[in-house]
Amino acid sequence: MERALLGGGCFWCTEGAFKGIHGVESALPAYAGGFDPRPHYRAVCSGTTGHAEIVEVVFDETIVPFETLLEVFFTVHDPTQLNRQGNDIGTQYRSCIMPTTSKQGDVARRVIDEMQPLFDADIVTTIEEPTHFTIAEEEHHDYYARNPAQGYCMAVVGPKISKVRAKHAHLYTA
């Protein structure tokens, strides 16, 4: 199994996009990329920790390649928005890839170059070290699945997940 660490804005959206993909064993919300060795939700949301909200995706590369996960990643968020996704503003919502192997770093750079022509603005996704990686609090795990009627989930998370599942329907298990 391999690990992918991907930040595409609010981790509730990103986590939900990876749930149910054939070959993905787990997708968990997490924090990484900052200087605080013990990040927690309120501190990360304040923008003072340097951390991004990310998702740890554990996957079987022989079933779903990292490149395919990056295609999903670039569908679930707008990689041309610097330090924001919609109304979520701050470095904690930055678009970032935190490779766990040197191969992932090479693949990420190549996929960004390949994806650039699909966007009208420059992709601002960073490739960075996953400093102080920490799994988020349990209350954030499967947040959308447990709270589909919550306002933010209805207005933001649900539409993003629907978009991803429509575009990449062939990746999801029944």
Q: CA quadruple 99, 101, 104, 109: dihedral positive or negative?
A: positive
Active site residue 45: no
| Burial degree of 1 (CB within 10 A; 0-12, 13-18, 19+) | exposed
Q: HSE of 148 in the Cβ direction (CA atoms, 13 Å)?
A: 7
Which two structure tokens, joined as six digits, stand for 149?
A: 């009627």
Among the options 10, 13, 96, 153, which is catalytic? 10
How does DSSP classify residue 172?
B
- Ramachandran category for residue 57: left, alpha or beta (phi over 0 → left; psi -120 to 50 → alpha): beta
User: Which sequence positions are flagged as catalytic?
Assistant: 10
